[in-house]
Amino acid sequence: MNTSVPVGPIVTLTLNPALDVGAGVDVVVASHKLRCDAPTAEPGGGGFNVSRVCQRLGHGTVAVAALGGPLGVQLESLVENEGLTLRPVAIEASTRQSVTIDERASGQQFRFVFPGPSLSAAEVDACLQATADAAEHSRCVVLSGSMPTGVDTGAIARLADAIGDTTLIVDTSGSALRDAVDAGVDLVKPSARELAGLVDRELETESDVAAAADEIVANSSVGAVLVSIGAGGAILAQRSGERTRFRAPTVKVASAVGAGDSLVAGVACGIHGGESLRDAAAFGIACGTAAVLSPGTELCRVDDVHRLHPAVTQE
């Protein structure tokens, strides 16, 4: 990358965004008509959440997203109202919706996620091109969230080629996660459960998780694997052979929603700021830990991030 050119924004790509609708109810009872509170509506989808956190942390960001139908219009309005720079890619089908219901009696949360639209090959390519255009001078691109039907197995590899030397972080699951590994992207961020799916075996101990992360790096061209292990922190395996165990500070969990997206956003911010992957990952752990302090679907708060960051340990 030409260092004489100003560093561009962090670019996120959300291929399967959602309008997240949330409400509360006293008790969830089957077959009853449940009277909920007035609903809230927020932008949903991994890439949107990553961009929202990056903006909170003071980093420029551009959110590219596939949007269609009335829900897509509403989602576009919500994103722009938050002050995010949005590059929407119009699709024929309608954007999906998800519903979160908080049960006050138990404190439990019920999340209903509907399937997303199917994208045409032309729509997928338009999303990839919009991302590459936005990332011309960027240090970091994040592809985050589930993949809608219509996204072919070569899409992630084409994105990696299109953005050149720009760091590509992929946070997804299932076959798309395997595609990212096969494409040799710079960093994948699976959970321990998702990592188990990649290696096709149960990972019962932390040592099992670490060995599996090393195995993925050794047997593919992926640059690094950052495995989140919940409240325990994360494990980073790198192509250099270096492995780092990050331990998160112990906090009281209000809600785990958004923790993974906040973690990825922190890593992206670190890379955008010129930090090493190891230091960027430590900052990401602080962001993910800060997110669990926030209730409901709220993301991490900046004050919490900076307070927790020094307490993240590396081994």
Nearest to 98 by CA among 46, 56, 174, 143: 46
Beta strand 61-67 pairing with 85-90: parallel
Euclidean distance between CA atoms 253 and 231, whole angstroms: 9
Q: Beta partners for 21? A: 41, 99
Beta strand 10-14 pairing with 61-67: parallel
315 with 244: CB under 8 angstroms?
yes
Question: Of 186, 261, 279, 304, which one is the catalytic site residue?
Answer: 261
Is 261 in the active site? yes
The three state secondary structure string of 11-65 is EEEECCCEEEEEEEECCCCCCCCCCCCCCEEEEECHHHHHHHHHHHCCCCEEEEE
Sequence-ordered list of residues with C-beta below 8 angstroms from that of 180, at least 6 positions apart, any chain = 143, 156, 170, 172, 188, 222
256 with 290: CB under 8 angstroms?
no
Sequence-ordered list of residues with C-beta below 8 angstroms from that of 4, at least 6 positions apart, any chain = none
Catalytic residues: 261
